[in-house]
Amino acid sequence: MSSMTIGKLSAATRVKVTTIRYYESIGLLDEPDRSASGQRLYGDTAVERLGFIRHARDLGFPVPAIRELISLQVEPSWDCAVVDQIARRQLGEVRRRLTQLEALEAELKRMITACEGGKIACCSVLAALGHHEQCLHEEHAGKEVLAARPSN
């Protein structure tokens, strides 16, 4: 029987040890068996489950959506429309952010090319930041545009 400590599981899935414990604390991972001294021991199903979670997180699925996907997996005879809808919702979210980011890229590019060097007093980057009236995008309603998930 293969049983691995949390460090091995971490190496196998490239999920940090602290993150694994965090997933357990929020109920994404089941509580594993423990050794006599209290260390967590995982089997192969934990590797699978954690790989699933990591892939979904990498695709930007929020934790509640992943929780839902996991709970659906134990009902193989149900219709998969629910699963597909979660994925489509996530695709919509990704596309919405893409559109936003394209607008931001356009304005940043415009700002930067407008500046031809010189003194701060006449820097068109600062000018553009100060005057929103001339923006290419009338509404960049993006709060967490970049906050989504920094690379790791």
* Span 77-136, contacts to a second copy by CB under 8 A: 77-81, 83-84, 87-88, 90-91, 93-98, 100-102, 104-105, 107-109, 111-112, 115, 117-123, 125-126, 129-130, 132, 135
Does residue 22 contact residue 10 with C-beta atoms inside 8 Å?
no
* Span 12-71, contacts to DNA by CB under 7 A: 16-19, 21-23, 34-40, 57, 62-64
Bridge partners of 41, per DSSP, are 33
Q: Which of 137, 63, 144 is nearest to 97 (CA)?
A: 144
Give me the sign of the Cα torsion angle 120, 121, 127, 131: positive
d(CA 21, CA 145): 28
The two structure tokens encoding residue 62:
């929020």
From Zn ion, DNA, a second copy, none, interface partner of 10 (C-beta below 5 to 8 A by class):
DNA
From DNA, a second copy, Zn ion, none, interface partner of 127 (C-beta below 5 to 8 A by class):
none
Nearest approach in angstroms of CB 122 to DNA is: 27
Nearest approach in angstroms of CB 138 to Zn ion is: 8
3-state secondary structure of 148: coil
How many residues sit in the footprint of DNA (CB under 7 A)? 27
Q: Binder to a second copy among 7, 25, 35, 55 (CB under 8 A)?
A: 55
d(CA 152, CA 131): 35
Q: At what angle do helices 17-25 and 6-13 cross, to 10 degrees?
A: 100
Q: Binder to a second copy among 17, 41, 63, 69 (CB under 8 A)?
A: 69
Q: Which residues bind DNA (CB under 7 A)?
A: 5-8, 10, 16-19, 21-23, 34-40, 57, 62-64, 143, 147, 149, 152
